[in-house]
Amino acid sequence: MSEALITYQLEGPIAVIGLNRPAKRNAINEAVIDELRAAVARAADEADVAVLHGHGSNFCAGLDLAEALARATGQVQPPRKRKRHSWHEVFDQIARGPIPYVAALHGAVVGGGLELATAAHVRVCDETAFFGLPEGQRGIFVGGGGTVRIQRVVGYTVMADMMLTGRLLSAAEGEREHIVRYVVPPGQALAKAMELAAKIARNTPDTNWRITSVLPRINDLSHDDGLFMEYLNSNLQRSPETAERLREFVEGRAAPLAAPGKAE
């Protein structure tokens, strides 16, 4: 029996999902997408937050070019009817699904790997990480949602530069361009991601759902429609857990906020 292309482990409220093609630098093909789809659906059902990482020395080197070549040369039979791109479907289940995702990045985070990473809500990298969009040098175009997702993170000029010139961004440059929010020493990205996931899991599930599913949709709306959507969501009936958390704060029983740079 072949080894799983996606690993899955439930650690308390956290689903840990790993890309598991280290010999191929975790390149993504349709078999990977199929297993990732199943893992994402399982996490949505049984976890409160998920961590996405890559086994081996890289997070993900992007599209499996051997599979892309097979398609380009007609070796793969196209479907009889057009349907939604499988990457779009699965990455959207991550980006706008019911639970938050934290991505732990290291080594290559390029092409489709960067598209997958930007589907996560919080991104951590270690100092070995580098980011790129080499599609222009391969004669292809981004196809995993990067035109929407990456461009909204880094802006047009940065994305165009990366695609036109093949420029790679270091971990520090990735932080500067908002690809990642945290940079840690080599080998520590997954531990930091788990730490953040544990903190996120302490939020109410309803609040996390609004952040992952409502907030990005408000970003797509006009100013007035966005404020209206905010009003609707902020005035829905509060859950008993929310009421108890508000009571804890009002009565002085809630833990105080920690200053930046200090442990809670």
pLDDT tens by residue, the chain, 264 residues: 568 999 999 999 999 999 999 999 999 999 999 999 999 999 999 999 999 999 999 999 988 766 666 566 666 677 666 666 788 999 999 999 999 999 999 999 999 999 999 999 999 999 999 999 987 777 778 888 888 999 999 999 999 999 999 999 999 999 999 999 999 999 999 999 999 999 999 999 999 999 999 999 998 999 999 999 999 988 876 677 766 665 666 677 666 656 566 545
pTM of the model: 0.87
115 given a catalytic annotation: yes
DSSP letter, residue 211: I
What's the pLDDT score for residue 263? Answer: 46
What's the pLDDT score for residue 144? Answer: 84
What's the pLDDT score for residue 136? Answer: 76
What's the pLDDT score for residue 249? Answer: 62
If we measure between CA atoms, which residue out of 228, 109, 83, 229 comes closest to residue 169? 109
What's the pLDDT score for residue 65? Answer: 64
If we measure between CA atoms, which residue out of 127, 230, 222, 209 comes closest to residue 170? 127
Domain 6-200 = CATH 3.40.309.10: no
Query: 3-state DSSP call for residue 140?
Result: coil
DSSP letter, residue 60: B
* Token pair recorded at residue 254: 């809630």
What's the pLDDT score for residue 23? Answer: 94
For CA atoms 221, 222, 223, 226, give the dihedral sign.
negative
Q: What is the dihedral of CA 18, 196, 62, 39, to 10 degrees?
A: 40
Which of 3, 30, 115, 248 is the catalytic position?
115
Which of 135, 173, 195, 248 is the catalytic position?
135
- Outline where 63-170 has alpha helix (H): 65-72, 86-95, 112-117, 135-138, 146-154, 156-165
Distance between CA atoms of residues 35 and 153, nearest Å = 27
135 given a catalytic annotation: yes
Distance between CA atoms of residues 91 and 87, nearest Å = 6
* Token pair recorded at residue 153: 């993170």
